[in-house]
Chains A and B, each alone.
Chain A
Amino acid sequence: GQQVMQIPQYQHVQEGEDFTTYCNSSTTLSNIQWYKQRPGGHPVFLIQLVKSGEVKKQKRLTFQFGEAKKNSSLHITATQTTDVGTYFCAGRYFGNEKLTFGTGTRLTIIP
């Protein structure tokens, strides 16, 4: 079936360290989106990647889409306490409108 795997499940980092989460699909994706969910909140859209090999940046966040459009990563440079939350990737496959979410990576920051 169409599944998006995400690792790691948890990540604890010292403030100022970098953080990366990875998503992988066994099937080629049409596009992939990234969301952030603060503790107790709801998912909020960060970005969408569509093209093979695409790289996008938002301040300290760098998003990549693999050449085969089967994997993606989110990298945060020099984490801050405001980065705390769970980061989800969400893949869309060709031919349907479903958004298939990864299991998420929960980021905690040690001050």
Chain B
Amino acid sequence: NAGVTQTPKFQVLKTGQSMTLQCAQDMNHNSMYWYRQDPGMGLRLIYYSASEGTTDKGEVPNGYNVSRLNKREFSLRLESAAPSQTSVYFCASRRLDRGTEAFFGQGTRLTVV
């Protein structure tokens, strides 16, 4: 039982390059989330998906797009990476009906140079 799997674990991009961060969960959870973590800023919500087929903006959505491909997968795309997007990105999932804990992936450490 893998839980929440994120790929890649590490990535270095040049300014202006694009990439997609992948996230998949095998717990049949309804809700999925993308957070970024920066020193002193805690975890800030980029986008979330309460259920398959829906996505909503979080606190810091600018420069990102998301796709809820199916119930298992929720991807985050950077169309034109900027140094300000250097961060650690976490995907999380949660069962909506119970309102219970969020399970996090291992994180993706992204550096934009």
Q: Which residues of A pack against B, CB within 8 Å?
A: 6, 9, 30-31, 33, 35, 42-45, 48, 88, 90, 92, 97-104
The 3 closest A-B pairs by CB, nearest first: A45-B101, A103-B42, A101-B43
Q: List 6 A-B contacts (CB under 8 A).
A: A42-B106, A97-B94, A99-B92, A101-B35, A101-B43, A104-B42
User: Is B53 part of the contact surface with A, judged by Cβ < 8 Å?
Assistant: no
Residue B45, interface by CB 8 Å: yes
CB 8 Å contact bits of B72-102 with A (1 = contact, 0 = none) = 0000000000000000001010101001111
B83 to chain A, nearest CB (A): 22
Chain B residues, Cβ within 8 Å of A103: 40-42
Q: Which residues of B contact A45 (CB under 8 A)?
A: 101-103
A43 near B43 with CB under 8 A, answer: yes
Encoded as 1 (CB less than 8 Å from any A CB) or 0, chain B from 1 to 45 comes to 000000000000000000000000000000101010000111111
Instruction: Give CA–CA (A34, B105) in the complex, Å.
Output: 17
Contact surface of B with A, Cβ cutoff 8 Å: 31, 33, 35, 40-45, 48, 50, 56, 58-59, 90, 92, 94, 96, 99-107
In the complex, the answer to whether B99 meets A31 with C-beta atoms within 8 Å is yes
Nearest CB on A from B6, distance (A): 9
B107 and A99 within 8 A (CB): no
Complex contacts, A104 vs chain B, CB 8 Å: 42-43
Q: Is the CB of A99 within 8 A of B33?
A: yes
- Let me know if B42 and A6 touch, CB within 8 A: yes
Contact of A43 with B104 in the complex, beta carbons under 8 Å: yes
Closest Cβ–Cβ distance, residue B102 to chain A (whole Å): 6
